[in-house]
Copies of this chain bind each other. A is one copy, B any other.
Amino acid sequence: MNIEELASRLLNQDKRALARAISLIEDGGVEARALMKRIYPNTGRAAVVGVTGAPGVGKSTLVDGLTAYYRQQGLRVGVLAVDPTSPFTGGAILGDRIRMQERGTDPDVFIRSLASRGQVGGLSRATGDSIRAMDAFGKDIILVETVGAGQGEVEVMRYAHTTLVVLMPGGGDEIQAIKAGILEIGDILVVNKADMEGADRLVRDLEMMLDLGPESPWRPPVMKTVASRGAGVAALAEKIEEHRQYLISSGGLDRKKLDQVSSQVEEIVASSLLAEVMSRARAAGTWQEVVDRLSEGTLDPYTAAEEVLSRHGLLSEEG
């Protein structure tokens, strides 16, 4: 199938074309690039909601609950489960597979997992482009779920318009919550498993931390859910919509989208330049020579970079 055909099938809501598109995006080759250019004009309509938090807090169950809620509203849902680490099992998220079987029968739910393939920035690009592919396909809501609580998650969450940070009672003391450090990126804080002991205390602690945080026109609300039985999910979905309306009216949504696309341009520029310079340095034997001297310990990395740049990275004068 050529790119033109793939694009038009995707735009006609062919699920297999969407799956194929995301596989191309994961591979990250020239075809993915051509596809993204082609479908770009059809993007920008979907609401993108990020769901992050430490392992075990119930992110997947919450995403399931939100999916069920949105389906009841007649909305078309895409779920992207992003794993910034590459698990033992070779790239697929086990829990995701289980869910996929459950919801896979609903034609208006598309679930896909993305795993890191090792290149820095590769997963971030793949996430952004997969969201766009789902958006162009016609999804109304795209839920992006991540695992863990690190830089990878922060990277991934910059594609979300609204980010939910999910916590649970008793998952460690308050210092742990601060150490997890992801509160800062949350537009809505969700205390899941709120029927467990300590839920009210956690809510109070979070409110106190928000009191200490910088003032902002949007103060992140703290919502309680018991996702395993759907409790609090509708109220959460309303808050998500409220945040979206706030973003639209404040101009924040356009700003977020522009920030996101601008950094993507920078990423593409940086990786293209690096690929070109490295390919030249390898072809000319400079790279091997540098590696040999690094290996002997007679060259430091900064001087090595300067040598590579001065021999192969010289930029032309302004053209």
Which A residues contact B (CB, under 8 angstroms)?
Answer: 33, 36-37, 40-41, 44, 54-56, 83-89, 93-95, 116, 120-121, 123, 146-155, 171-172, 175-176, 178-185, 209, 212-213, 254, 258, 261-262, 264-266, 268-274, 276-278, 280, 284, 290-291, 294-295, 297, 300-305, 308-309, 311-316, 318-319
Contacts and interface: CB of A to CB of B under 8 A. Distances in A.
Nearest to A300: B40
Nearest to A291: B262
Nearest to A58: B172
B84 A318 contact: no
Contact of A315 (B40, B84, B120, B277): B277
Question: Which of A178, A212, A295, A302 is the most central at the interface, judged by chain B CB atoms within 10 Å of its CB?
Answer: A302
A309 B275 CA distance: 13
B44 A297 contact: yes
Contacts of A212: 88
Given A265-B305, A300-B37, A179 B147 contact: yes
Nearest to A98: B175
B184 A313 contact: no
Nearest to A272: B309
A314 B308 CA distance: 16
Which applies to chain A's interface (DSSP): helix, strand, loop or mixed? helix
Nearest to A121: B120
Nearest to A84: B151
**When A and B form their complex, which 10 residue pairs have the shortest distance between CB atoms, in order from nearest?**
A151-B152, A150-B150, A85-B181, A56-B172, A150-B152, A40-B300, A84-B151, A268-B305, A148-B150, A148-B149
A182 B147 CA distance: 11
Question: Which of A83, A172, A261 is the most central at the interface, judged by chain B CB atoms within 10 Å of its CB?
Answer: A261
Question: Which of A33, A84, A258, A311 is the most central at the interface, judged by chain B CB atoms within 10 Å of its CB?
Answer: A84
Nearest to A313: B273
Contact of A184 (B33, B87, B266): B87
Contacts of A172: 55-56
Contacts of A54: 54-56, 148-149
B184 A95 contact: no
B95 A175 contact: yes
A48 to B, nearest CB: 16
Contacts of A176: 55-56
Nearest to A292: B258
Contacts of A319: 311-312, 314
Contacts of A84: 150-152, 154
Contact of A155 (B151, B182, B271, B312): B151
A179 B93 contact: yes
Given A85-B180, A264-B301, 7 more contacts: A41-B297, A56-B171, A88-B184, A95-B175, A273-B309, A312-B319, A316-B316
